[in-house]
């Protein structure tokens, strides 16, 4: 089946799905009131310098101050060793003072309670190149593996790039003509010069450069040679995309299609079902096994289980087949849910070292097709794999859901029986403080029902021991864990 980009635009919301062999490989959502700010460039003002953290907080005009680490001001992890060495020797208090105005770019959007992470090393993405105006460095996508093509591209960029600046050569540049590459270099250099001029006149904090919206960003970054069709259901967005590709990538114009069917476009391509499935904890495998995805703020744990799969030969073979099937689903779910940060995968224990190696190799191979940078450790004796996946924006769960207001996001509640015994302890405390002959318990109906029935004997025993009458009143508006004890 073809690889496709499906864009659904409704009032205030744009959703994008990348389909690979008919399955949703990546999903993005952008809302007018929650617009993605990664890539935006701001003129900011330093409001606080923290030597203990080697960082600074910068006001860029958002509701929360942005976080700037010293490594994002004096160096960058992708640069050469000399620059990284210089970064290690620099101290934030020697580089920045409160009140100083600096030009910064958002590298990671605000996530949860954390503000945006920013860098002073601006990078501007074009169709074929990424321009780094403040760093003299040329890098090239690892996905371009032909040595002659790599050399050709580097030679072109080296020859025509502005002095004392750098470029990253993107995968999309493979096979692109000299004329198109020069046009990209010229466009990006002019964009940076215009930004510098605006920055000089702007008052901090202010927006100096806004990254493309999600529709045009997807066209620029994801509409690559392996995508056979881009289908959009908004006539306005269809016209915008046409104008954009006419100007920057005319070769793909024939692959852009407008969808005007009666059936919603995400229903037509089975995307709604996949997105709903991606919000669940349990994901079934075709064999009958399943994985459990548990997300916390600090890390994500993925547990692999054989479930209903019993195999046909022996236990070790069953476990190996389940783990290998889980590898594909785990990588798929990481991409679909955009899970980042620290990830621990708990594969089913395998006795044979050769089988552990097979599963680890399968995981490494599957991650090669993930456009987000990952690092993984070898599978342990317990079947655990620790990995990290770069996080630049919120994951799907945080984008589409809120914590349950009833359980406060815990995912569980104290049982009615547990609450009953808490009530008994509080009744004893209250009895020692009051001379009243009556104690009243206000509780949720489910708890009151247990007190009336299963725990009735203990309520009567308490009345005899304390020589007080216990009155139970149910209040439907009470939370299951909520109760109140009074002497009237």
Q: Are residues 75 and 188 in the same domain?
A: yes
| Residue 167 sits in the same domain as residue 67 | yes
- Which phi and psi angles does 425 have, rounded to 5°? -65, -40
Pairing between β-strand 282-284 and β-strand 23-31 as defined by DSSP bridges? unpaired
Where residue 245 sits, what CATH number does that domain have?
A: 3.30.420.60
Helix segments in 351-455, DSSP class H: 353-367, 396-400, 416-433, 445-452
Residue 63 lies in a domain: yes
In this structure, are 53 and 165 located in the same domain? yes
- Sign for the CA dihedral angle at 371, 376, 378, 379 comes to negative
Helix (H/G/I), strand (E/B), else coil: 60:
coil
pTM as predicted: 0.73
Residue 410: inside a domain: no
- How far separated are the first and last CA of the chain, in Å rounded? 72
| CA pair distance 394, 36, nearest whole angstrom | 10
Residue 130 lies in a domain: yes
Query: How many domains does the chain contain in total?
Result: 4
Residue 470 maps to which CATH number?
3.40.1260.20
Q: In what order do the strands lie in the sheet with 469-474?
A: 469-474, 438-443, 483-486
- End-of-domain residue from the set 209, 229, 251: 209
Phi, psi of 476 (to 5 degrees): -65, -25
Q: How far is CA 195 from the centre of its chain?
A: 29
Q: Are residues 153 and 251 in the same domain?
A: no
User: What b-and-e string marks burial along 335-362, b requiring 16 or more CB atoms within 10 Å of the CB?
Assistant: bbbbbbbebebbbbebeeeebbebbbeb
Domain contains 407:
no
**Containing structural domain, residue 79:** 41-209
Please, are residues 70 and 55 in contact by the beta-carbon 8 Å criterion? yes
Instruction: Outline where 264-413 has alpha helix (H).
Output: 265-268, 271-277, 315-337, 353-367, 396-400
CATH number of the domain encompassing residue 122? 2.40.50.140
> Token pair of 15, please?
């959703």
Strand partners, 29: 15
- Tokens describing residue 441: 């318990």
Q: Is the same domain home to 332 and 436?
A: no
Per-residue pLDDT of the chain (488 residues; tens, 9 = 90+): 789 999 999 888 899 999 988 888 888 888 877 677 889 999 999 999 999 999 999 999 988 999 999 999 964 334 444 444 444 557 899 999 999 999 999 998 887 678 899 999 999 999 899 999 999 899 999 888 899 999 999 999 999 999 889 999 998 899 889 998 999 999 999 999 999 999 999 999 999 999 988 899 999 888 888 899 999 999 999 999 999 988 888 778 899 999 999 999 999 999 988 888 888 889 999 888 899 999 887 799 999 998 876 656 678 888 899 999 999 999 999 988 889 899 999 999 888 889 989 999 999 999 988 888 899 988 887 779 999 998 767 788 887 888 888 888 778 899 999 999 999 999 999 998 888 999 999 999 999 999 999 999 999 999 999 999 999 999 999 999 999 999 87
Q: Is there a domain that residue 138 lies in?
A: yes
Rounded Cα distance between 213 and 31, Å, is 10
Provide the CB-side half-sphere exposure for 433 (13 A, CA): 10
- Which of these three, 209, 232, 260, is where a domain ends? 209
Q: What is the pLDDT of residue 75?
A: 42
The answer to whether residue 409 is domain-embedded is no
Angle between helices 445-452 and 456-466 (to 10 degrees): 70
Q: Which of 209, 233, 264 is the last residue of a domain?
A: 209
User: What pLDDT does 385 receive?
Assistant: 93
- Helix/strand number for the chain, H first, E second: 15, 24
Same domain, 324 and 378: yes
- Whether residue 406 lies inside any domain: the answer is no
Q: 200 and 63, same structural domain?
A: yes
Beta strand 256-258 with 227-232: parallel, antiparallel or unpaired? parallel
Q: Are residues 121 and 152 in the same domain?
A: yes
**Do 288 and 336 sit in the same domain of this protein?**
yes
Longest dimension (CA), the chain: 95
Question: Does residue 258 share a domain with residue 222?
Answer: yes
**Structure letter (DSSP) for residue 109:** -
Alpha carbon 274 to chain centroid distance?
17
Q: Which of 30, 27, 36, 31 is nearest to 272 (CA)?
A: 27
Same domain, 57 and 172: yes
pLDDT given at position 74? 63
**Is 375 in the same domain as 447?**
no
- Are 139 and 169 a contacting pair, CB within 8 Å? yes
Tokens 């935006």 locate to: 40
């Amino acid at each position: 089946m073809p690889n496709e980009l499906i864009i659904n635009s409704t009032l205030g919301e744009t959703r994008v799905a990348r389909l690979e062999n008919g399955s949703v490989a990546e999903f993005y959502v952008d809302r007018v009131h929650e617009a993605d700010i990664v890539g935006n460039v701001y003129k900011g003002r330093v409001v606080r310098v923290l030597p203990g953290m080697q960082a600074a907080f910068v006001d860029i005009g958002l509701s929360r101050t942005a976080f700037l680490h010293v490594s994002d001001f004096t160096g960058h992890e992708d640069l050469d060793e000399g620059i990284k060495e210089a970064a290690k020797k620099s101290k934030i208090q020697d580089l920045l003072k409160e009140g100083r105005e600096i030009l910064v770019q958002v590298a990671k959007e605000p996530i949860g309670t954390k503000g945006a992470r920013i860098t002073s090393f601006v990078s501007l993405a074009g169709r074929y190149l990424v321009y780094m105006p403040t760093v003299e460095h040329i890098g090239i996508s690892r996905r371009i593996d032909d040595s002659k093509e790599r050399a050709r591209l580097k030679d072109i960029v080296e020859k025509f790039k502005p002095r004392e600046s750098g470029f990253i050569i993107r995968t999309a540049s493979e096979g692109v003509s000299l004329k198109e590459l020069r046009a990209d270099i010229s466009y990006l250099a002019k964009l940076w010069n215009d930004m510098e001029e605006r920055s000089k006149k702007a008052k901090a904090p202010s927006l100096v450069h806004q990254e493309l919206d999600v529709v045009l960003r997807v066209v620029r970054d994801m509409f690559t040679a392996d995508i056979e069709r881009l289908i959009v259901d908004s006539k306005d967005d269809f016209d915008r995309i046409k104008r954009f590709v006419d100007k920057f990538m005319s070769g793909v114009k024939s692959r852009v299609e407008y969808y005007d069917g009666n059936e919603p476009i995400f229903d037509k391509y089975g995307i709604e079902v996949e997105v709903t499935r991606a919000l669940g904890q349990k994901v079934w495998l075709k064999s009958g096994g399943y994985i459990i995805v548990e997300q916390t703020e600090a890390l994500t744990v993925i547990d692999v289980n054989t479930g209903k799969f019993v195999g046909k030969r022996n236990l070790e073979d069953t476990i190996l087949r389940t783990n290998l099937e889980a590898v594909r689903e785990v990588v798929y779910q990481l991409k679909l849910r955009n899970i980042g940060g620290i990830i621990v995968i708990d594969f089913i224990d395998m006795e044979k070292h050769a089988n552990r190696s097979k599963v680890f190799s399968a995981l490494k191979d599957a991650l090669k097709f993930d456009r987000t940078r990952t690092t993984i450790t070898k599978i342990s004796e317990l079947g655990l794999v620790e990995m990290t996946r770069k996080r630049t924006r919120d994951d799907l769960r945080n984008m589409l859901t809120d914590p349950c207001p009833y359980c406060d996001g815990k995912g569980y509640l104290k049982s009615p029986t547990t609450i009953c015994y808490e009530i008994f302890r509080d009744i004893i405390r209250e009895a020692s403080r009051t001379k009243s002959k009556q104690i009243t318990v206000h509780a949720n109906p489910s708890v009151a029902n247990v007190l009336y029935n299963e725990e009735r004997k203990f309520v009567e025993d308490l009345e005899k021991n304390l020589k007080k009458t216990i009155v139970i009143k149910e209040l439907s508006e009470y939370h299951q864990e909520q109760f109140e004890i009074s002497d009237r």
